[in-house]
Amino acid sequence: MKKLICFLFAILAFTPVAFSQSREVKVLNANWKFQKGDFEEASKVNFNDSKWESVTVPHDWAIYGPFDKNVDIQKVAIVQNGETIATEKTGRTGALPHIGTAWYRNTFTLPKDSKDKKILLLFEGAMSEPQIYLNGKKVGEWAYGYSYFYFDVSQFAHEGANTLSVKLTNKEFASRWYPGTGLYRNVSVIIKNNESIDQWGQFITTPFISEEVAKVNIKTKASGENTRLVTTVFDSEGRQLSSEESTQQFGNEFDQNIKVANPKLWSPETPYLYKAVSQLYAGTELKDEITTRFGIREIKYEANKGFSLNGKITKFKGVCLHHDLGPLGVAVNKAALRRQMTILKDMGCNAIRSSHNMPSFEQLELADEMGFLFLAESFDEWAKPKVENGYHRFFEDYAEKDIVNLVQATRNHPSIVMWSSGNEVPDQWGEEGVKRAKWLQELFHREDPTRPVTVGMDQVKATIESGFGALLDIPGLNYRVHLYDEAYKKFPQGFILGSETASTVSSRGIYKFPVVQEKNKQYPDFQSSSYDLEACSWSNVPDEDFVLQDEKPWVIGEFVWTGFDYLGEPTPYDESWPSRSSYFGINDLAGLPKDRYYLYRSRWNTKESTLHILPHWNWEGREGETTPVFVYTSYSSAELFINGKSMGVKTKNKNTPQNRYRLMWMDVKYEPGTVKVVAYDDNGKAVAEEEVKTAGKPYQIVLEADRKTISANGEDISFVTVSVVDKNGILCPTATNQLKFKVSGAGTYRAACNGDATSLEMFHKDSMKLFSGKLVVLVKSTLTAGDIKLEVNGSGLKSGKLILNAKK
């Protein structure tokens, strides 16, 4: 009998408190000193760091380059890609100078009454192998660069100035993609009373939900004798709903149950968040307080039905995301994350897999707010290595600690609906791997019994034979579309998750001829065709996954590799130079949509229509040659016109996967002018049309901001798309003009990116070439409110100017 996996809990999203009467959280963003190199004396208080670089944290030192093929040149066979012979690889980890040791130093001040307080140092991400010193003494170390961790430094801290020093070491051959560097996420000092709520010590679920009422269960671990806990629940408008006071602990844990009447359920469509405030008292004195947002929701995983959310069968329309943010590197930035997720939302995406690393707190907060289901992943490697200096070095000593921190720090986010304990681990073979999979899954269950666990499996045959796949809560298949039916028959769970799908490769605005479906296709310019028919030897084009999602109700969804291009892994050009970032993204490294974006949108976005034509129509020298036209649309049929002449009506059909999801006119001959498509509804009525025109010579620079008003907090960013058009305002799709950027007023120039995987221009320089007629400029706020002026110039072009505004 196939087993039923049922997780019926709602989860609360933990939001760190900036200040309260009883605790203070100091986020150490400013006044850091940084220097690359190993300085043995840098841990000492009196060390002279006056000549070191001044930086802000989050910080990624390597993103400033330069790109250099010798940084990460390797001779290796990538086993998970099916390679058996070692070859020279370049750009595998981004060709950026991430290898080596560096130090960070800062000074923070503790108030006079802190002597009897509890002082914690919290690190949300330090790449990698951090060693932490406070006032000249080592307080601890960690190994995993993606892990969150904290230390109680009460015995090392003192009133007044305290000197914090952090040593980080990145070894070569330690990653399969660009891992980034530095203190790339927030560092905080937490000051609280000894009678206090434990760090990540609260776990909230809802074991009962109906239309009339939800039961909110709150388990809170706290320190201190004779304490009582008061928790109050508020709605999203701040109105108080209910409250409970508890004086008795079970062990060191309070257990409260609070009623929420007529609950509004959290979902991707309605991401409603409540708020809870938990206050710890000793007598009448308030000792500690934390604020929590929560979203009530119910999840189930059932054999032959799949995943349901709040009683509704829901397919995962998901993407995988690495943690770098393109031109910002891995330094976390909420504005950049929000932009990514806004783009994904418009595409109809409802789920994200953090691949293959632990997600940032900011990303999870946005997932809660914006409505994304989340697959939170832990490791890319267990005890058996993929790379020489990978996580296998730490697995035995750190795996449990890393999982505990991951789960305890994030389990209260309603967006998280499953955990992943690993991705394509070599431990899929053999009995030891089965035992490790079971042990890791049980760790997740111990820390959070409300969610299932998966592993992204690429060795499906091996996991069928060994029992590895059968023991998982959710069997995740990476590619292997030809094995879905066999896996479903032999695994007992009664459903399959496409934990990693497609890995189609393309370059934005680049089209190759003839138009045929290919594997491992390479071209002299190191680009891939945006006709979306090219994949790797081990992967496939999107349409093959679409068929499985549509025809197999037991396939519960997919996570496409990847939502955005990322630094490193430049497959299929990982033996070529220059090529330093991926081609897998639905959107490019600058966050600009590729054609494939509209293929997914036509299928996933069910609220708005999609009608998109490819390729562009500037093909000087190809007159009279066959130039196929594809249309990605949510409509079932359409008619194509070239300069007013009909090329016929095409209707989606099941002859091939491509015919089922695309409209394709394969015999079109190129002639300059206008390509127009007219879409028809099911009754044959024309309901929408779209045009692409041949552009003249580049004439003018056009600027379009994702947001014209940003916050004057020194961190917010406006992403400005820069395009070049002709005299008639038509985009010049082949333009490669060199542009220069100038920002003045209450903002600064931060970076630029054109999405070209072969570009060696540095992101932080104020000049860059267009790629396929576009690039993106990042304008960052300062701490001053006011207007920000962006001016973009290029030789022979009419300048582009834009006024942004920074507000307090």
Among all residues, which ones are annotated catalytic? 424, 500
Q: CB of 671 within 8 A of CB of 707?
A: no
Give ∠ CA 386-391-397 in degrees, rounded to 5: 140
Q: Name the CA dihedral angle for 592, 596, 598, 600, rounded to a multiple of 10 degrees.
A: -120
If one counts every other C-beta atom within 10 angstroms of the C-beta of residue 669, the result is 12
**Centroid of chain to Cα 306:** 24
Q: Are strands 11-14 and 285-295 parallel, antiparallel or unpaired?
A: antiparallel
If one counts every other C-beta atom within 10 angstroms of the C-beta of residue 378, the result is 29
Per the structure block, which two tokens stand in for 70?
A: 């010798």
Number of C-alpha atoms within 13 angstroms, CB side, residue 149? 25
Q: Are strands 118-123 and 187-192 parallel, antiparallel or unpaired?
A: antiparallel
Q: For residues 128 and 183, give the distance between their C-alpha atoms in angstroms, rounded to a whole number.
A: 9
Q: Name the CA dihedral angle for 133, 134, 137, 142, rounded to a multiple of 10 degrees.
A: -30
What Cα–Cα distance (Å) separates residue 89 from each residue in 174, 404, 579?
A: 14, 35, 10
* Residue 141, C-beta contacts closer than 8 angstroms, at least 6 positions apart: 129, 130, 131, 132
Angle between helices 430-447 and 395-410 (to 10 degrees): 30
Q: Which of 233, 209, 351 is nearest to 294 (CA)?
A: 233
Q: If you write DSSP's letter for every residue of 204-233 in order, what string do you get?
A: EEEEEE-SSEEEEEEEEEEESSSEEEEEEE
**Centroid of chain to Cα 313:** 25
Per the structure block, which two tokens stand in for 1?
A: 């009998």
Q: CB of 443 within 8 A of CB of 432?
A: no
DSSP letter, residue 63: G
Instruction: Please provide the distance, in angstroms rounded to a whole number, between the alpha carbons at the two ends of the chain.
Output: 60
Q: For residues 180 and 558, give the distance between their C-alpha atoms in angstroms, rounded to a whole number.
A: 27
The identity of residue 313, as a single letter, is: I
Residue with tokens 């016109």, as numbered in its chain: 641
Q: For residues 804 and 711, give the distance between their C-alpha atoms in angstroms, rounded to a whole number.
A: 11
Instruction: Look at the alpha carbons of 635, 638, 641, 644 in this order and tell me if their dihedral is positive or negative.
Output: negative
Residue with tokens 């079109």, as numbered in its chain: 668
Q: For residues 755 and 594, give the distance between their C-alpha atoms in angstroms, rounded to a whole number.
A: 10
Q: For residues 322 and 699, give the distance between their C-alpha atoms in angstroms, rounded to a whole number.
A: 37
Q: If you write DSSP's letter for every residue of 715-754 in order, what string do you get?
A: --EEEEEEEEE-TTS-B-TT---EEEEEEEESEEEEEEE-
Phi/psi at 616 (5° precision)? -70, 175
If one counts every other C-beta atom within 10 angstroms of the C-beta of residue 653, the result is 10
3-class secondary-structure state, position 69? coil
Q: For residues 501 and 541, give the distance between their C-alpha atoms in angstroms, rounded to a whole number.
A: 9
